[in-house]
Amino acid sequence: MNVFIVGVGLIGGSFAKDIKRLRPESKIYGIDTSASHLKEALDLGVIDLESSYADLALADMVIVSIPVDVMITELPKILDGVNDNCVVFDGGSTKSLICKTLDAHPKRRNYLAAHPIAGTEHSGPSAAIENLYAGKTNIICEVEKTAFKLQERALELFQEIGMRIRYMNPDAHDKHIAYVSHLSHISSFMLGKTVIDKEKNERDIFDMAGSGFESTVRLAKSSPAMWTPIFEQNKENVVETLTEYIQNLQEFKQLLEKGDYTGIFNEMNDTNKIKEILNGIPLNKK
| Residues 155 and 12: beta-carbon distance below 8 Å | no
pLDDT-derived band of residue 275, with 50, 70 and 90 as boundaries?
confident
Q: What is the CATH number of domain 173-280?
A: 1.10.3660.10
100: which residues sit within 8 A by CB, 6+ positions away? 170
Q: Which residues contact 171 (CB under 8 A, 6 or more apart)?
A: 96
Q: What integer pLDDT is reported at residue 286 of this predicted model?
A: 37
Whether residue 285 has pLDDT greater than 50? no
The mean pLDDT of 157-186, rounded to a whole number, is 95
Q: Provide the 10 A C-beta neighbour count for residue 189.
A: 17
3-state secondary structure of 211: helix
Measured CA to CA, the distance from residue 6 to residue 74 in angstroms comes to 10
Give CA separation, 96 vs 20, 42, 125, 131, in Å. Answer: 31, 34, 28, 28
Decide which of 72 and 199 is more confident: 72
3-class state of residue 110 by DSSP: helix
pLDDT tens profile 202-233: 667 667 666 777 777 888 888 898 899 999 99
Q: What is the pLDDT of residues 76-99, one digit of tens each?
A: 999 999 999 999 999 999 999 999
Helix axes 224-233, 68-81, angle to 10 degrees: 90
pLDDT for the residue 124: 92
Distance CA 160, CA 202 (A): 45
**In whole numbers, what is the pLDDT of the chain averaged over residues?**
92
* pLDDT tens per residue across span 39-69: 999 999 999 999 999 999 999 999 999 999 9
Report the candidate in 281, 10, 14 with the shortest Cα–Cα distance to residue 133. Answer: 14
pLDDT tens figures, 128-164:
999 999 999 999 999 999 999 999 999 999 999 999 9
Architecture of domain 2-168: 3-Layer(aba) Sandwich (3.40)
Where exactly are the structural domains of the chain? 2-168, 173-280
So what's the pLDDT on residue 277? 66
Average pLDDT over residues 113-121: 90
Contact 63, 5 (CB under 8 A): yes
Task: Report the sign of the C-alpha dihedral through residues 66, 70, 76, 82, in that order.
Answer: negative
